[in-house]
Amino acid sequence: MSYIQLKYELPGIVGLLFNKPSTGKAISSLAQAILRGPSPLSVMERELIASYVSSLNGCRFCYLSHSAVVDELAGNKGYSNTVVDNPDGTLLSPKLKALLRIAGKVRKNGRDVLPEDIENARLWGATDEEIHDAVITAAAFCFFNRYVDGLNTRPMKQDSDYVKPAKSLIKHGYTFPNFIGKFFMKRMFRKFA
């Protein structure tokens, strides 16, 4: 049970977004800009960074949500888990591995990112914009993860429950009032009908 009384019984960040629409709209806009806005990093690469950082932070809701999106985009159930469990041992490009290392350091402490980390990413072909987008994605997900877990929101009951919302996220993005809230609201109202 959430630490605070929420207006709707919706899982994870969804309940928080709809609980206080003024911040919900701002948070949704930020997620949309970071994960779907213009970037030389693909949507899947940015979602993978979100999944990776959420896993390192132990945020089950965000990790499973964004892993499901990555798996759908990759067309490979379990792809995200393979990458998150061992990013250096995967078939990722050296550039993306370098960006994930930077994201992991940002997640721990932004000051842990060293000039050598940036130079390594550049050696593998990362542009300044790609480095920027990896860092802002990691930083934003630290915020999102702490928001979700700091208020003890509930994850969904089963890991498979993340698949349908992931498909909708791919199709509609993160705008507010976002599709994900509408997706859960419809399910909630059916439950009470």
CATH number at residue 168: 1.20.1290.10
Q: Look up the pTM and report it.
A: 0.91
What's residue 179's pLDDT? 55
Structural domain includes residue 4: no
> In sequence order, which residues have a C-beta less than 8 Å from that of residue 182 and are 6 or more positions away?
none
**pLDDT higher than threshold 50 for residue 192:** no
What's residue 155's pLDDT? 87
Domain that holds residue 51: 12-192
Structural domain includes residue 34: yes
Mean pLDDT of 128-155: 97
Mean pLDDT of 135-154: 97
Structural domain includes residue 3: no
Structural domain total, the chain = 1
Q: What is the DSSP letter of 76?
A: -
Structural domain includes residue 96: yes
Structural domain includes residue 1: no
Question: Does residue 90 or residue 49 have the better pLDDT?
Answer: 49
Q: How far is CA 117 from CA 3, 48, 141, in A?
A: 39, 19, 20
Q: Phi first, then psi: what are they for 59, rounded to 5°?
A: -90, 95
75-84: pLDDT as tens digits: 999 999 999 9
